[in-house]
Amino acid sequence: MGREEEILKERLRKIEELRKVGINPFPYYYNQENHAAELQEKYKKLKNESRTKDNVKVAGRVIVIRDIGKLAFISLQDGSGKIQVQIQQELTPEKEFDFFKKYIDSGDFIGVEGAITRTKRGELTVLAGKIELLSKSLRPLPEKWHGLQDKEERYRKRYLDLIMSPEVRGVFVKRSKIINAIREFLNSRDYLEVDTPVLQPIYGGAAAKPFLTHLNALDMKLYLRISNELYLKRLIVGGFERVYEFARDFRNEGIDRTHNPEFTQVELYQAYADYNEMMKICEELWGYVAKKVLGTTEIDYQGNKINLKAPWQRLSMKEAIKKYAKIDVDSLDDEKLSEIIEKNRIKSKGTIRGWMIASIFEHFCEKHLIQPTFIYDYPEETTPLCKSKRGDSLTTLVERFELYILGMEIGNAYSELNNPVKQEILLEQQAKELKKGNEEANPMDEDFVDALEVGMPPTGGLGIGIDRMVMLLTNSSSIKDVLLFPFMKPQELDNYAYKGI
């Protein structure tokens, strides 16, 4: 029997013993009156070796026990932080002292009532007068969690990661603050937060392969949304002028440092705006969030100093290719572009000119876009939901931009296509591509075209990847570090029978 199994067996024995003496090892309620952070702030001026007459009631998880016979110290962790608890034979009632010695282990949740003191070493401490077991832990906490190099285990058992690593909890506190700051920014500008369907009979709004599911009630196929774009545009048609949604989207694609099959983005749409207006909003939003959450627009990410203060660099896709790849795509025919693709072993979505240009950009340019940069004016073939570039007599470009920081694509925006005739043609082309085997092409959505035929005003749209935004603002190297439960390949786990619990 291994060490963990021995501990499990011993703690199960304690549970049975507690029940025999009439103590519920899993009680229903505790009146937690105080939190660690609150007490640390309130008594920050309390001198060493001083004791107050104040009585407090704290509750939390036992992280560490230092037991030295007649004296023991507990590191107690609640949702706000840690505080020390002292159990001393001379000062703690005999019944409470014996209860602690006999039944309390690391990992248990306990409630402690007692006076506040500060030790000789300067540690704010609750001198235990009463101890209650609130939940018995069966498995031991990791002894050297900070020393573990197995990140996979941390992601699989996030609950242990959160218990043992305050800095990990801090990332997710910041994530919540980032989302709240975005909401504040948009609400203050009269955007309306809305909800659109996650289950969709027809998917669209992005070049991505969807997840398929089935609705038994109607015996029909449904898809987890790859984007909420087409529904938000319907709301603009319906008369709302500014809308946004924090959307959980799903794309059946690869998993790597910046990709997870399930991810979050915020999409916003504004009537009577275009992609130039979206650039301004994007800059202002990032600046607002950074100042609100971090207090500065200058951040450090993996050793790179990033300045989020507006204005940001702006380059057309063709200008970026000239600058970083030394290639003038306008001077080359399709055959020459294909030769560049083949010579540099570039992954391209086909031999269509627009896709080859976009692929050359991704291969040569993205890695150079360290500071915030708007890459604008994309080939028309890459974007079926966007307006043509105004003043472009060849109509080979569309008014789209993507935001790049540190080589990562963080946002995407259009001057939204609102011509129903052209939209229908482009969606029909997408449907043909889908039938040919392009799994990232979109099916025809006739209801969306019908909505555009009713009439949609000039509109600007912007989507920002929340997970990647959080990565940057928390200095996290992987998307898994900013998702509480990132997708992980399943592994076989031992099963234990908790008989008698």
Residue-wise pLDDT for 432-460, tens only, equals 989 988 888 899 999 999 999 999 999 99
The pLDDT score that the predictor gives to residue 395 is 67
CA distance 202 to 184: 32
> In this structure, is residue 363 part of a structural domain?
no
| 432 in the same domain as 304 | yes
Q: What are phi and psi of 363, to 5 degrees?
A: -70, -45
| 307 in the same domain as 402 | yes
The pLDDT score that the predictor gives to residue 144 is 55
The pLDDT score that the predictor gives to residue 153 is 84
| 250 in the same domain as 103 | no
Number of residues in the chain: 501
| 419 in the same domain as 298 | yes
In the chain, the number of structural domains is 2
Confidence bin at 490 (pLDDT 50/70/90): confident
Q: What are phi and psi of 197, to 5 degrees?
A: -65, 140
| 259 in the same domain as 118 | no
CA distance 430 to 440: 9
| 51 in the same domain as 125 | yes
Closest CA to 87 of 110, 403, 478, 419: 110
Scan for tokens 């948009």, then name that residue. Answer: 186
CA torsion 57-60-62-64 (nearest 10°) is -90
> In this structure, is residue 455 part of a structural domain?
yes
| 197 in the same domain as 111 | no
pTM of the model: 0.92
**pLDDT single digits (tens) 149-191:** 577 888 999 999 999 888 999 999 999 999 999 999 999 999 9
Q: Indicate the range of 15-29, 451-465, 486-500 predicted with least confidence.
A: 486-500
> In this structure, is residue 64 part of a structural domain?
yes
Please answer whether residues 464 and 410 qualify as being in contact, where contact means their C-beta atoms are separated by less than 8 angstroms: yes
CA distance 213 to 276: 38
| 408 in the same domain as 268 | yes
CA distance 385 to 74: 60
CATH code (residue 412): 3.30.930.10
| 93 in the same domain as 189 | no
pLDDT at 1 over 70: no
> In this structure, is residue 375 part of a structural domain?
yes
Mean local confidence (pLDDT), 75-99: 95
Mean local confidence (pLDDT), 23-52: 96
| 26 in the same domain as 116 | yes
> In this structure, is residue 191 part of a structural domain?
yes
CATH code (residue 110): 2.40.50.140
Range of the domain at 308: 166-312+371-482
> In this structure, is residue 160 part of a structural domain?
no
Amino acid at 198: V
pLDDT at 499 over 70: no
| 109 in the same domain as 203 | no
Mean local confidence (pLDDT), 23-29: 97
Mean local confidence (pLDDT), 198-205: 95
Confidence bin at 254 (pLDDT 50/70/90): confident
